[in-house]
Amino acid sequence: MAAVDGGGTDTASPGTSPSPPTDRVVGVLELLASRPAHAFSLSDIARALGMSKATCHAVTASLANADYLIRNPVDKTFTLGPALVATGRAAELSYPAVHLAQAEAVALAEELGMQATAAIRSEGHLVIVAHAGSGPDAGAVRIGRRIPLAPPFGGVFVAWAPDEVIDDWASRTERPAPRGPLLASLGAIRERGYSVERLTPAGVRLRHALAELSDDPLAEDLQPMVMALLAELRQAEYLPGDLAGSGRHPVSALSAPVFDAHGGTQMNLSVQPHREMTAREIDRVGRRLLKACTRVTTAVGGKPPA
């Protein structure tokens, strides 16, 4: 994210982005997409993204000319434009699993009474592409939100992956967790077929922080805080032996994979109970989640890994 110096010109740390002008365009679109029912003034956008008004005017004018934004002629505010409808439909055709995942998320949320989401992997992060239901951290998991692909997040994306992918994932926290517990976590995911994430104070703090951020949590100036909170989480996955007995266990999320044609994880479906559950309840929800993922996997021509 660019900063604004005392003279009102845009400045940024050297080497932070290969194309700062492009980042500004992306930033405007992501900001308006984060609150689609809200109309933003030029000052609102400039202040939120750390731009000078002159730069912000140039960016919004170009986007409005291309119909990616609509400028209200009365109050001069901006909202998303009709060109993005065609873009969104084209993206949906490119990712048929997203449309299917949204339908499954709605069914899961209605049946289980839990918030449900789907995410795809993009470079070193996860992108929320489907959402249904409500929960205490709805702001943290809104569509378009990016989440670091770093322990303990994204275990179902790497549990069946080659060692080099697992090594890269394990090294992404500020203070890498011991390898033994991480491998045990991935083994538990493979054994069950889905992930069961503990509800911990550190996890609650991280989700609250993500929910309160209007900006991208992977932006240059926010990454240190987000990654420091991730480092606190360490071991978040329940191992099979942890769920033995008749007690109740605080559960943050359950996630299962949607596989592609090569047996790799293309997407995950998740539910976020945010409450204590018995082992039987966890098993019931996990099996329901697996059924949803199997339907999407089959529909897109995917197959489980050998």
Domain residue spans in the chain?
A: 3-85, 95-299
Residue 79, classified by CB atoms within 10 Å of its CB into exposed (0-12), middle (13-18) or buried (19+), is middle
| Structure token pair of residue 51 | 């731009």
Instruction: Please state, in angstroms and rounded to a whole number, the distance separating the CA atoms of residues 86 and 96.
Output: 15
pLDDT value for 200: 79
Contacts of 133 (CB under 8 A, 6+ apart): 105, 108, 109, 110, 113, 114, 115, 116
Q: Which CATH architecture has domain 3-85?
A: Orthogonal Bundle (1.10)
Same fold, 3-85 and 95-299: no
Query: pTM here?
Result: 0.69
Q: How many C-beta atoms surround the C-beta of residue 225 within 10 A?
A: 13
Q: How confident is the model at residue 11 (pLDDT cuts 50, 70, 90)?
A: very low
Q: How many C-beta atoms surround the C-beta of residue 165 within 10 A?
A: 13
| Structure token pair of residue 211 | 């929910």
Query: 265: closest CA among 114, 97, 148, 130?
Result: 97
How does 95-113 read in b/e, with b if 16+ C-beta sit within 10 Å?
Answer: eebbebbbebbebbbeebe
Residue 268 · residue 156 · CB < 8 Å: yes
Q: How confident is the model at residue 181 (pLDDT cuts 50, 70, 90)?
A: confident
Percentage of the chain lying above the pLDDT 90 cut: 39
pLDDT value for 91: 66
More confident residue, 190 or 138: 190
pLDDT value for 232: 57
Q: What is the pLDDT of residues 25-83, one digit of tens each?
A: 988 988 888 777 789 999 999 998 888 999 999 999 999 988 889 888 889 999 988 88
More confident residue, 236 or 24: 24
H or E, element range at 22: helix 20-34
Residue 56, classified by CB atoms within 10 Å of its CB into exposed (0-12), middle (13-18) or buried (19+), is buried
Residue 225 · residue 277 · CB < 8 Å: no
More confident residue, 27 or 159: 159
Instruction: Please state, in angstroms and rounded to a whole number, the distance separating the CA atoms of residues 144 and 161.
Output: 25
More confident residue, 170 or 260: 260
Residue 302 · residue 259 · CB < 8 Å: yes
Flag whether pLDDT at 98 surpasses 80: yes
More confident residue, 234 or 168: 168
Query: 155: closest CA among 178, 129, 183, 135?
Result: 183
Of the ranges 41-50, 116-125, 174-183, which one carries the lowest mean pLDDT score?
174-183
Instruction: Please state, in angstroms and rounded to a whole number, the distance separating the CA atoms of residues 224 and 227.
Output: 5
Query: 5: closest CA among 13, 301, 132?
Result: 13
Contacts of 81 (CB under 8 A, 6+ apart): 63, 64, 66, 67, 68, 69, 70
Instruction: Please state, in angstroms and rounded to a whole number, the distance separating the CA atoms of residues 289 and 110.
Output: 13
Residue 116 · residue 270 · CB < 8 Å: yes
Superfamily of domain 95-299 in the CATH hierarchy? GAF domain (3.30.450.40)
Q: What is the pLDDT of residues 287-302, one digit of tens each?
A: 999 999 999 999 999 9
Query: 70: closest CA among 79, 60, 61?
Result: 79
Query: 116: closest CA among 135, 100, 98?
Result: 135
